[in-house]
Amino acid sequence: MKTKRVKFWAFLLVCSFGLLLYRLADIQLFSTEKFGDEQVNLLEQSVKQQSSSINLTSGRGELLDRNGQSLGKSQVKDIVLFPLIQTIGLPQSFKNLLEAETISLTDIETELKEPTYLSEMIGEEIDSDLYNEVKNRKIPGVMAVERSLLADPEIGQHFLGIVRENPNAYYNRYDESPILTDPKPIGISGLQKAFDPFLQSDNSKKLLYQVDGKGNPMLGLNVRYIGEQDPFYPVQLKTTMDLPIQNMAEKVVDNNGLEKGGLVLLDIESREVLAMVSRPSINSESPYQNQSIVNQMLVPFYPGSIFKTVVAAAAIENNTESLNRTYDCNTNLYGDEPSERKLGTLNFQQSFAQSCNNAFGTIGSKLVNANPQIFEEYTEKLGLLGPVGWTGDVFRYSNFKQFPAEKKGRVWGNKYDRNVEKAIRQTSIGQKDVKVTPLAVANMMATIANNGEKQYVRAVTDILYQNNTTMYTFKANKDNSNRIKSDTALRLQGLLEKVVTDGTGRSLDGLGVAGKSGTAETGQKGAYHHWFAGYFPKQNPKYAMVVVDLYQTDTDAQTYPVYKEVVQNINEMNGVSND
């Protein structure tokens, strides 16, 4: 009996010992790179436990303007202080250098717990002389380095977007386990957010040093540089932004005191965004406070008389009678009381130029009574309701959007309003429930200037590898399946030209501009949305532009001054006279 018991326990011991040996072999030999249900890389994790590091680059992709100039990323010189100096003390030679630069670092030997940039400790950039001195000397625990800073863009903030550290959002966005990967900064707006999956990269560059079991620096081990030079990653986004024009446009907007609103400038032929300005600027400390992160150029607003362009297009193609009669423009929108603006009796062309509400209320009423869907049909033909941003399949991303934050516009808020005379008339002049985005309005003007050719708007033309070879090209995305006739576009061009020469846009006369003004009630007393949308030069048009000053009084609106100054500056850049 005793012999059986001894054999049984001996068997259990052998089995247990065998299991332990197998477990150790699995950890040490068999599953070193994919261990357990979480597929943990034990080699990488062991290195992390035995070392500490500081990033020289985030490894994130870079944004370029249309000419290849870097946007929002800079190379700076800095000095790294390692916890090694806790053990050996701050070298006197380095103290002397700091004193020469009048830099005071109190109790640095005891307070330094991890590798830290000197610039962050003193709150300013490192002097080049100090950097060169440290670089030319071998000072224990101190190293001169060059690093890339991924800062918020100084211009084009809403267009380019910003990046922030948010581990929870990172794991939710990419559905990755915290055990498997370190969270990386993510784009939270603009192109940084739209193209975040492409801009993410593991190719960060670091300075690495060894630590003991308690995390203290080990003496005698040199700091090592890690991060391979990769010819492909991280990628670069070649945006459509024209940096000199963007810079100029932002200065014009700010110098004229436009506080809420902005502008969109498109290249008519390619439908590329050359400049996009949104105000107010992003609050870097609290981006979501007061919705400062929102790009106003992608948000729908009441367009006012801008919408008369849609009504005019519908009338040209469907109701020639409206084009050949006159209208009493001394009466209001409903034709039952005197108008605040006494314009007299005007024909169709004059009514458009002077923005006569009674004329377009009357025309719109006839059009809708004959075809209740006509406004939707012509906003579609002109590409006004959107979204108008480039959309398509990119690798494994179906329906990829370059402007994911772009909102869709609308014509009717209530389907029964098509049967209500006053609602039809209000809708005909871009009030009631009509809302469109500035980007869509700019694209509509480009469509008209390009003889009715519809096309989606691009913000990025290429994704490039590090060696400047092309990873992906976003080709022009045209849509001519449902458009206005070329003759209609030509007639609209004539109407838009008349607005500037003989109508509400006369302050822009002489600059070669054609366009339409709009002043929309907002529901706030004394506050209106002030628009001007058009294109230039009117002969061989190249640019389409919208300027909108939101929630502004009539006397303080800066729409025309901004529009005029931007056009003048672009003309000068192109060597065109402003006479």
3-state secondary structure of 421: helix
Helices (H), 123-261: 128-136, 157-160, 167-174, 190-194, 196-199, 243-255
Q: What is the C-alpha separation between 522 and 458, in angstroms, rounded?
A: 30
572 CB neighbour count, 10 Å cutoff: 12
Q: Which two tokens stand for residue 106?
A: 């109190």
Buried b (16+ CB within 10 A) or exposed e, 101-137: eebebeebeeebeebbbbbeeeeeebeeebbebbeee
- Torsion, Cα 293 296 301 304, to 10 degrees, reads 150
Q: What is the C-alpha separation between 158 and 264, in angstroms, rounded?
A: 12
3-state secondary structure of 273: strand
Which positions ≥6 away from 496 have C-beta within 8 Å? 309, 445, 448, 514, 515, 516, 534, 535
Q: Which residues are catalytic, by number?
A: 305
Which positions ≥6 away from 394 have C-beta within 8 Å? 400, 472, 474
Q: Which two tokens stand for residue 481?
A: 């399946």
Q: What is the C-alpha separation between 124 and 451, in angstroms, rounded?
A: 54
Q: Which of 235, 197, 169, 192 is nearest to 394 (CA)?
A: 197
Q: What is the C-alpha separation between 525 and 554, in angstroms, rounded?
A: 11
